[in-house]
Structure 1
Amino acid sequence: MDPEISVQEQNPLELDLNEITRKLLFLDQWRGVLRYYRLGSSHTTPQNHDDSHIPAEETGDRPRMFWSQGRGQLPPSSVCSIPRLSVNSSKLHGFPISPAMATMLQKSIFGNMNQVLGGDWRKAHFKFHDPFSDLAFALQVEKGGAQSIQMAVQGSIIKYLLFTREGKDCSLHSLCNLSQREQEQALAAVLAGILWAAGAAQKAIVCWLSSIKDIHSTGTLDYSSDNFIERLQLFEFSEKEATEKFVYDHLQCFKGEGSHGVILFLYSLVLSRTFERLQKDLDTTTTHLLQSQAGSVLCRQAVLNLILTGRASPNVFSGSEEGTSEETLHGVLARSDVGYLQWSKDTSAGDRLSQAGSMLKTPAFPIWLCNINRNYSILFCTNRQLLSDWKMERVFDLYFYSGQPSQRKPVRLTIDTHSHHWEREHHEDKHGSGRRSSSLEMAIRTKWREATINWNGSIPFC
């Protein structure tokens, strides 16, 4: 065995994680190459070691190796050799995930090798309400851990439909007047855009499931408890437009019944971010992305921040803070496009680190993912200038989508930020029964402290 890849006789716990990963990947890359030539195509034979001059269309889906003095070496910016696909490519072939990469993915998601995602996650996919309806812009969601991902994606869908697609006005009518094709275009653009941002605008990786019969034997390494991760096929893109076209052409992998669409998007998100960047994003408070709680598997904040900002920051405050043990805690470093508001009746008002910072509360677009008592919803305004002109913030409308099956259309809330406290109390009590503030209203006041909220005839339900 090459001395460069032999593990020294020392306590494995003392080995650097990156060094262990590098050695596993190195070994696994050789296994993949040997397996390729043992099982591979009839038109390919190993000749000169250096194949970097061969055009991609001639190498097909063969893994690209970098050779030095007769010895294969992984490119430093990659954890696995995945085919780079052109937007004009007529033959798209994914590369099966390697055992080492699957192990790292499993540990990044769960922190261990035993956890699996249950039925609520496996059923979750990205499905719109009916076209040309009051909720044509909205995804259908159900309770469960995947809801937070769906609603985070929902915020970006609204951003795209209202503010970034061409030729449409910024109005509620434009959100409701959507055809199925427009829904699919929006979903593809948003999913691809989120993956591209996670890849630092350098690359994106999209994965889907192969059939069980396509899984090749990879030795005795057991890296999944549910025969799911080892079925992943990976596709890497170096252009955002190519990513979007590929996602649109294969959108059924994310929106179809039984597609495991949310899980595949989560895996694509992590792989696009890369394990190296992910490790730098996280801190001692968060070492993996999902957590078990009360019988459910829930997303940690790092997943939501990765969708919102492109970085898996584990906390909601802005910048960095010092923790109780003098360790550095990582917060949000840049203003996000879609914001985030958080309120829970169980959270102490004095818990400064649990409160969303200005980077999330004041996004580039007037759209907010809301975490209210651990249920996720969306607030948005159709006025692009709301957060850039202080005069617009005196009295304005916000629309609220809860994701609850009983909601048939977005609720219009009128926000008055300059009313006096006695006017607010009088207004909020006029619904009777001594009603004070709903949880949604409390979340809104984390952004506009003295705001009066008028539900415009709707009965407060959140």
Structure 2
Amino acid sequence: MMGKYVEEVSVSLVREYLSRKGLKRTISCMDEELPRTDSSINNRSDLRRILHLEGLYKKNKTEEHPLKSMLEIIVKERLNEGDKARAHHHSDSQPHPSDQTPSRATLDVSDNVKQDERILEGLHYDIPSQDSLTTEIKEELNSEKKVPDPESQKNRGNRMRRGIMAGPIASSSQESNRRRPSRKASGSSSFRTTTEDCKDTTGWTNGFNTTHIKSNPSASPEGEGSMFSHLNNGVLGSNGLEKIPGVKPQHRLKNSPPNPKVDELHMLEMVLDDVENEGSLCDVSTASGAKLKLHRTSMDQITATALKKILFGSPIACFTEEWKQQNFTFSDTLGLKYGIIQKKGGPCGILAAVQAFVLQKLLFEEPSSDSQYEILEVSNTERTKCLYLALADILWRAGDMKRATVAVNTGRNLFTPIGRYKSDGVVEKITCVTVDTLDDLTSVLKQHVRQFETGPFGCILLTISVILSRTIAVVQSDMDVPTSTLIGAHGYCTQELVNLLLCGRAVSNVFDDEMKLDSGNGNLTLLKGIKARCNIGLLSLFEHYNICKVGSHLKTPKFPIWVICSESHFSVLFSLSEELAADRWKKKEFDLYYYDGLANQQEPIRLTIYPDAAAQNDNADNDLIPPLELCIRTKWQNALVSWNDTDPIL
């Protein structure tokens, strides 16, 4: 256990260093190969306390050129201890140190330390732990009195190339200068990218740090006050941000001057809670050179309360464990790798809607095969791509094709609840990223897709994202009764929530357009339905029982994919042939595939539909007909369904 804890501390120490240096692409690379876990240290104050650096940290802040990262502070302290030990040794053995000249070994060690600094700054993949770094430093200090062996120096360089401290190795100072922009030293062991270098290499712009504006009133849009920071309470999202997938923006107070462009960092889980005296960092653009325009705001109690009211009807209600544990993890069953697994009952409406849009991408927009049957044999990379593209479509539609908001889990509470509000450990940890273009939305979701696919709260994050994309006020106005909720009894999704995902509006009904009812005394009640033909359809068992009427906008969607509402559960029915959705489709037998993420399917379920073959069975006992067949008959009235040797689902 101790070894694992040491590893977590070491990894967090390296992440803190990378964030201070603005090595955003390196952080993204590190997160790919070494994902964060629940035991990761997400707070700089906690990390400082664990490493017992409070005294050194305060001492560092009083320096003329304070170091920015804890790793540098540790290294400097170790080097200073070595200097003191060496000075003490020299004073004992040589009474006239002023007559001494630096030995060749000392010069070599100095060169090696500088080389290690350059290597550490450029690291991308294999990150050294604190223990290994301390060992390296001790070896350097202990070798000062020895003449370095050329062969051992060569082997040491080979070890670095093999991954101990992976990064560019400069064989000489001239080669080093030729490979990278010049560096400007700040302090005995810090190295800071100069402003000119940033401008030349990454299109640098200043950011404005307002996280500690009260304690640091001298902070300004330029110089030492510039830095990315997390959102504190009362700090609103600012202006457009550079295009860095999944990066973390700056924010400003309501009365602070606008900042045209702000730096971001993909460090949502590493909280920047003590960034006074921070320097400006370089922006990192995407491979295409485009720049994201993001607006980021942290969750506050007012927004959280409004969210809970529209979700549950009360701010003291909380998400159930079924919701908290649910994400969009795919099945590994052969033939069903496209399927999203539902762990327990509750959020099936969300899962079925997302599953339907994933199938739309997989089958008709991002096909990986020309064969209709091989197309379902999707790779892990392909299905993840279809997932974030599907989420982008859902959120962009909810935002009226103008804007969208992505809820991201920061890993820590962003406000302390007071009054009549019950914390559930989810809503309080969310930061909201708002974008103004579909491309930016896709980039953000691509960067954070693991939070939705495999991380905790994936289903909750999408639910909150789609509400905030539509906005809470507009969602309320969509409903027939503004006090309706999106999550009903037993944690089930209401029709309003399912409609919000399918058509972008949280309307209460499934018929086409609107319906006006006479309420008496000359009053009319307006019932809102589906305004236009949807990409994904819906078939309902309630229509079979004459409880509702599903209109053509849902019953005849643009793609042959339907969410099935049956027995208080949502699942998906789809065809591999896009022709089935054509308006002039010729009535003949065809195949449909059925997927239920909660049914623990072990193989695909293929149904063959004979549209007019069941007319003679109108008097059959409906109790013996599977509910899925009854749903199918709401669209193909006289259909006969063959389960093709699969046991019917009753």
Aligning the two structures, in what range does the TM-score lie when normalised by the shorter sequence? Answer: 0.7 to 0.9
2:252 to 55, 63, 67: 63
- 1:204 aligns with 404
| 1:132-187 deviation per Cα after TM superposition (whole angstroms, max 9, x unaligned) | x20011111133211221111101111110011256436132112x1111111111
- Deviation for aligned residue 1:188: 0.9
Q: What SS does structure 2 have at the residue aligned with 1:124?
A: coil
- 2:300 aligns with 98
CA distance in 2 between counterparts of 1:41 and 1:358 reads 61
CA distance in 1 between counterparts of 2:301 and 2:238 reads 29
2:464 to 260, 267, 275: 267
1:108 to 297, 310, 320: 310
Native 8 Å contact 1:108 1:287 kept in 2: yes
- 1:317 aligns with 511
| 1:317-369 deviation per Cα after TM superposition (whole angstroms, max 9, x unaligned) | 1111235744111111111101000005xx77343xx2211111110111000
Output the amino acid matched with 1:456: N
Q: What SS does structure 2 have at the residue aligned with 1:327?
A: strand
Output the amino acid matched with 1:438: P
Matched, 1:136 2:337: yes
Q: What SS does structure 2 have at the residue aligned with 1:392?
A: coil
CA distance in 2 between counterparts of 1:138 and 1:305 reads 21
- State how 1:429-444 maps to structure 2 within 5 Å: 436-444=624-632
CA distance in 2 between counterparts of 1:279 and 1:39 reads 40
1:397 to 555, 569, 591: 591
- Deviation for aligned residue 1:63: 3.4
- Deviation for aligned residue 1:118: 1.0
Native 8 Å contact 1:106 1:224 kept in 2: no
CA distance in 1 between counterparts of 2:628 and 2:336 reads 20
Q: Which 10-residue stretch deviates more, 185-194 or 227-236? A: 227-236
CA distance in 1 between counterparts of 2:250 and 2:330 reads 34
- Deviation for aligned residue 1:459: 1.7
Shift in alpha-carbon separation, 1:363–1:348, aligned structure 2, 3 A: closer
Output the amino acid matched with 2:528: H
Output the amino acid matched with 1:205: T
Q: Which 10-residue stretch deviates more, 443-452 or 143-152? A: 143-152
CA distance in 1 between counterparts of 2:580 and 2:505 reads 26
RMSD, matched Cα:
3.5
Native 8 Å contact 1:61 1:95 kept in 2: no
Shift in alpha-carbon separation, 1:66–1:358, aligned structure 2, 3 A: farther
Matched, 1:163 2:364: yes
Native 8 Å contact 1:224 1:230 kept in 2: no
Shift in alpha-carbon separation, 1:461–1:122, aligned structure 2, 3 A: same
- Deviation for aligned residue 1:194: 0.8
- 2:636 aligns with 448
CA distance in 2 between counterparts of 1:40 and 1:160 reads 50
Shift in alpha-carbon separation, 1:387–1:90, aligned structure 2, 3 A: closer
- 2:578 aligns with 384
| 1:2-40 deviation per Cα after TM superposition (whole angstroms, max 9, x unaligned) | xxxxxxxxxxxxxxxxxxxxxxxxxxxxxxx99763367
Matched, 1:284 2:472: no
Native 8 Å contact 2:327 2:458 kept in 1: yes
- 2:55 aligns with none
CA distance in 2 between counterparts of 1:358 and 1:91 reads 38
Matched, 1:149 2:149: no
- Deviation for aligned residue 1:280: 2.3
- Deviation for aligned residue 1:238: 1.1
Shift in alpha-carbon separation, 1:108–1:411, aligned structure 2, 3 A: same
Output the amino acid matched with 1:265: L
- State how 1:167-182 maps to structure 2 within 5 Å: 168-169=369-370, 171-176=372-377, 178-182=378-382
CA distance in 2 between counterparts of 1:284 and 1:93 reads 32
- 1:329 aligns with 527
Native 8 Å contact 2:238 2:296 kept in 1: no
- Deviation for aligned residue 1:263: 0.5
Shift in alpha-carbon separation, 1:389–1:62, aligned structure 2, 3 A: closer
Output the amino acid matched with 2:213: Y
Native 8 Å contact 1:282 1:312 kept in 2: yes
Output the amino acid matched with 2:642: N
CA distance in 1 between counterparts of 2:215 and 2:346 reads 40
- Deviation for aligned residue 1:403: 2.2
- 1:120 aligns with 322
Matched, 1:349 2:525: no
Shift in alpha-carbon separation, 1:356–1:36, aligned structure 2, 3 A: farther
CA distance in 2 between counterparts of 1:54 and 1:263 reads 27
- 2:493 aligns with 299
CA distance in 1 between counterparts of 2:294 and 2:478 reads 32
Native 8 Å contact 2:367 2:375 kept in 1: no
Output the amino acid matched with 1:315: N
- 1:7 aligns with none
Native 8 Å contact 2:513 2:531 kept in 1: yes
Matched, 1:459 2:647: yes
- Deviation for aligned residue 1:312: 1.1
CA distance in 2 between counterparts of 1:201 and 1:55 reads 18
Shift in alpha-carbon separation, 1:333–1:114, aligned structure 2, 3 A: same
Q: What SS does structure 2 have at the residue aligned with 1:385?
A: helix
Q: What SS does structure 2 have at the residue aligned with 1:37?
A: coil
Q: Which 10-residue stretch deviates more, 267-276 or 318-327? A: 318-327
Percent identity, please.
30
- Deviation for aligned residue 1:66: 7.8
Q: TM-score, normalised on structure 2?
A: 0.55
- Deviation for aligned residue 1:42: 6.9
Native 8 Å contact 1:86 1:242 kept in 2: no
Shift in alpha-carbon separation, 1:319–1:90, aligned structure 2, 3 A: closer
CA distance in 2 between counterparts of 1:393 and 1:104 reads 49
Matched, 1:415 2:618: no
Shift in alpha-carbon separation, 1:160–1:203, aligned structure 2, 3 A: same
Output the amino acid matched with 1:447: K
Matched, 1:186 2:383: no
Shift in alpha-carbon separation, 1:193–1:90, aligned structure 2, 3 A: closer
Native 8 Å contact 2:348 2:492 kept in 1: no
| 1:85-134 deviation per Cα after TM superposition (whole angstroms, max 9, x unaligned) | 99755998943123322222222212211111111111000000127x20
Shift in alpha-carbon separation, 1:284–1:103, aligned structure 2, 3 A: same
Q: What SS does structure 2 have at the residue aligned with 1:38?
A: coil
1:366 to 537, 547, 560: 560
CA distance in 2 between counterparts of 1:388 and 1:348 reads 24
Q: Which 10-residue stretch deviates more, 318-327 or 391-400? A: 318-327
CA distance in 2 between counterparts of 1:312 and 1:65 reads 31
2:445 to 235, 238, 247: 247
- Deviation for aligned residue 1:255: 1.6
Output the amino acid matched with 1:107: K
- 2:173 aligns with none
Q: TM-score, normalised on structure 1?
A: 0.76
The number of equivalent residue pairs is 392
Output the amino acid matched with 1:186: C
CA distance in 2 between counterparts of 1:228 and 1:349 reads 38
Shift in alpha-carbon separation, 1:168–1:239, aligned structure 2, 3 A: farther
Q: What SS does structure 1 have at the residue aligned with 2:538?
A: strand
Native 8 Å contact 1:438 1:460 kept in 2: yes
